[in-house]
């Protein structure tokens, strides 16, 4: 079941943020340990999505959050000519994580589909979900490498 963020699931959402933070920490040494920032980062994202055009969605199973995605509505600057008009507004995914136990179960695709239903960001998020693409971060040590799971499989992929 995919729902909008509910504080009832805060502890399991913090565990997901910790998983994501530790993954990002492997990519870049500028990230503090998950124990230091995961709860505060989740609270920050919850407040920020309320203030901006954004949403946090959780995948829930057995009363636990097993997946989390944060998406904000964004747009290309006025006058941009390098993309078709239908792609001027898009969903910007800032955080995306699925519990290891639920990878390969379509939780990520369902979260992306839900993110695609949030308004202006629909086109981009839906296309990403349909393509099976998800990216969890870019390595600073290896700037031409993305880390994530998706169409290319889990791991490092040169871009």
According to the model, what pLDDT value does residue 83 have?
81
User: Please, what are the domains in the chain?
Assistant: 2-132 (3.40.630.30)
Q: What percent of the chain has pLDDT over 70?
A: 74
According to the model, what pLDDT value does residue 48 have?
93
According to the model, what pLDDT value does residue 121 have?
42
Nearest to 59 by CA among 119, 118, 99, 117: 99
- pTM for the whole thing? 0.73
Nearest to 71 by CA among 84, 86, 88, 52: 52
According to the model, what pLDDT value does residue 155 have?
40
């Amino acid at each position: 079941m995919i729902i909008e963020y509910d504080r009832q699931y805060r502890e399991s959402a913090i565990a997901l943020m910790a998983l994501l933070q530790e993954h990002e920490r492997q990519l870049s040494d500028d990230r503090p340990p998950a124990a230091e920032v995961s709860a505060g980062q989740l609270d920050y994202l919850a407040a920020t999505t309320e203030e901006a055009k954004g949403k946090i969605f959780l995948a829930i199973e057995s009363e636990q959050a097993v997946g989390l995605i944060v998406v904000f509505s964004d747009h290309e600057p006025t006058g941009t000519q390098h993309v078709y008009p239908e792609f001027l507004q898009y969903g910007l995914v800032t955080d995306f994580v699925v519990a290891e136990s639920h990878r390969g179960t379509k939780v990520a695709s369902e979260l992306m589909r839900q993110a695609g239903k949030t308004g202006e960001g629909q086109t981009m998020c839906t296309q990403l979900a349909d393509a099976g693409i998800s990216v969890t971060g870019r390595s600073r040590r290896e700037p031409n490498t993305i880390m994530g799971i998706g169409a290319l499989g889990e791991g490092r992929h040169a871009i």
